[in-house]
Amino acid sequence: MASAAFESQAADLPDSEENHNGVTSSASTASTPPNHDHTDGPGPRVVDALVDLDHKDQQHRFPPSAHQWRTRRRAYSLTDADRERMAEVRAAQWQQAYMEENKHLALLPAFNRLSTIAMMVEAKEGTGRHRKRPKWSSKTEYMLSCISFAVGLGNLWRFPYLCYENGGGAFLVPYFVALLLLGMPMFLLELAMGQKLQMGHVRVWRSVHSKLSGLGVASAILSGICALYYNIIITWAIYFFIHSFSPVLPWTEGGVDAADSAKKFWLEEALRQAPDMNGGGGWGISPLMIACLTIAWLMVYFCIFRGISSTGKVVYFTALFPYVVLAILFVRGVTLPGAVEGIKYYLKPDLTRLANFRVWSIAGSQIFFSIGISWGSLINFASFNSQKNNIFMDTLIVCIVNCGTSLFAGFVVFSVLGYMAFKTGLPIDEVARAGSGLAFVVYPAGLGTMNHAFVFSILFFLMLICLVRI
């Protein structure tokens, strides 16, 4: 189509000396820019960017000869309309060549392809508002950022309980099916969009279609709202972390047993809830909790204030330290009495649950929640990569690490839950909890009954701070 457009539009040019001498459109347009009053065609800004890039490539490959200098001087005799038409023809040829090299753009609507190409040209040249994006200092920083984002609290306090509640080992069947059919393809898609287009997630969706820009905006707003929620969890973890620097942990006293003491400390000291629904307000604002919230927001700021330069360094700790703590807690947990019974409850398969559609739905939602797709962060991470990076291998590594962490965290959690059931004489059903009840009540209560409890408590809550997605 580009060649046909060239022939039809070149035939309209005046019969001048330039046409007989074979003046190329790149030579003519390089000397004089096209008329910006012309409204037809791809638009003056796009034409300028495309033709200018083409002219620079031509200069790099073939230095101008004496004949080219003469033809360029004669090109000044062309009218503005002639130069505009020749520029449009050359832009169409350049677009066709670019589309052949980047066949994925054929999926875009026709009226939106040229704007996408123009943005990529400007990004390549480092001009305009589409300046060249910075790159990760190393592949390790990028991979650790993806792992740190994917592996979070859901792996520790949500997956083990869901696995236990929905068939034990049988739950792994719908979990891995959802990972292969839903999680990994969408994870790969987000990395591909960010890496190929070299844009943030808001501009990526706008480049696909102008009416899809709301997807990027919505995901940004949703991420901001969830950041408020996650920062509250960081605040609680910091609060418990500070109270862990005591030979006698405060949540091990004041109750009938360890579990009751931990629950009382969580509700009355940390949350400051009212005694009952008709008891009015709670016990007022805690100055220490306000200080912890301030520390949490300062941590967020110092993690991201220099973009990937600071984030890439922080993830060396936030991505790797949780695995050190999980290994320590696993070794300590499996040596406790009752730990084996807890692990049996965790993985004991109930194949009849596979016939329940709700189990498959829960497995799919856990995959979406766990690996962090549809938030926009994966697109942003990949946009700082080289376009030649192997995203298929990245997807495979991150998803395997994420699922392996979930399974391993289940052993860490249920070994302590089995120990708590042994200590209290209660069945696992009454001890097991999910969410904040596990992280701030049951597990701290179990840690409080061990030797050197404050050491394990410090490590555990520092790990929680690292696992929260910032």
Token readout for 136 is: 């990760």
Separation CA 435–CA 155 (nearest Å): 11
pLDDT-derived band at 312, boundaries 50, 70, 90:
very high
Q: How confident is the model at residue 288 (pLDDT cuts 50, 70, 90)?
A: very high
Q: What would the pLDDT profile of 131-154 be if each residue is shown by its tens digit? A: 678 899 999 999 999 999 999 988
Q: How far apart are CA 320 and CA 145, in angstroms?
A: 11
Please give the mean pLDDT across all residues of the chain: 80
**Shortest CA distance to 261 belongs to which of 413, 422, 467, 423?**
423
Q: Can you give the pLDDT at residue 430?
A: 82
Cα(463)–Cα(470) distance, integer angstroms: 14
Query: Which residue reads 């604002």 in tokens?
Result: 285
Q: Are 72 and 28 in contact (CB under 8 A)?
A: yes
Q: How far apart are CA 101 and CA 341, in angstroms?
A: 59
pLDDT for res 143 = 96
| Distance from C-alpha of 133 to C-alpha of 124, rounded to nearest angstrom | 9
Say if pTM beats, i.e. exceeds, 0.75.
no
Residue 317 has pLDDT above 90, yes or no: yes
d(CA 72, CA 83): 12
Q: What is the mean pLDDT of residues 142-169?
A: 92
pLDDT at 101: 66
Compare 282 and 330 and report the one with higher pLDDT.
Answer: 330
Average pLDDT over residues 253-276: 80
Backbone angles phi, psi at 264, to 5 degrees: -65, -40
pLDDT of 31 strictly over 70? no
112 pLDDT band, cuts 50/70/90, is: low
pLDDT at 122: 52
What is the average per-residue pLDDT within 326-335? 95
Residue 367 or 28, more confident: 367
Higher pLDDT, 126 or 324: 324
**What is the average pLDDT across 326-349?**
93
Percentage of the chain beyond pLDDT 70 is 71
Q: Judge contact between 192 and 382, C-beta under 8 A.
A: yes
128 has a pLDDT exceeding 70: no
Rounded to whole angstroms, how far apart are CA atoms 196 and 379? 10
pLDDT at 349 over 50: yes
pLDDT tens digits, residue range 41-87? 445 554 455 545 455 545 544 455 555 555 555 555 566 677 777 77
Quote the CA–CA distance of 43 and 34 in Å, as a whole number.
10
Closest to 319 in 3D by CA, of 155, 468, 148, 153: 148
Q: What is the pLDDT of residue 13?
A: 43
* Cα-only R_g, the chain: 30
Give the span between the Cα atoms of 293 and 238, in whole angstroms: 8
Nearest to 366 by CA among 172, 227, 192: 172
* From 161-165, 190-194, 252-256, 303-307, the region with the lowest mean pLDDT: 252-256
Worst-scoring range by mean pLDDT, 26-30, 74-78, 111-115?
A: 26-30
CA angle 336, 341, 343 (to 5 degrees): 90
Q: What is the pLDDT of residue 5?
A: 45
Assess whether pLDDT exceeds 80 at residue 119. no
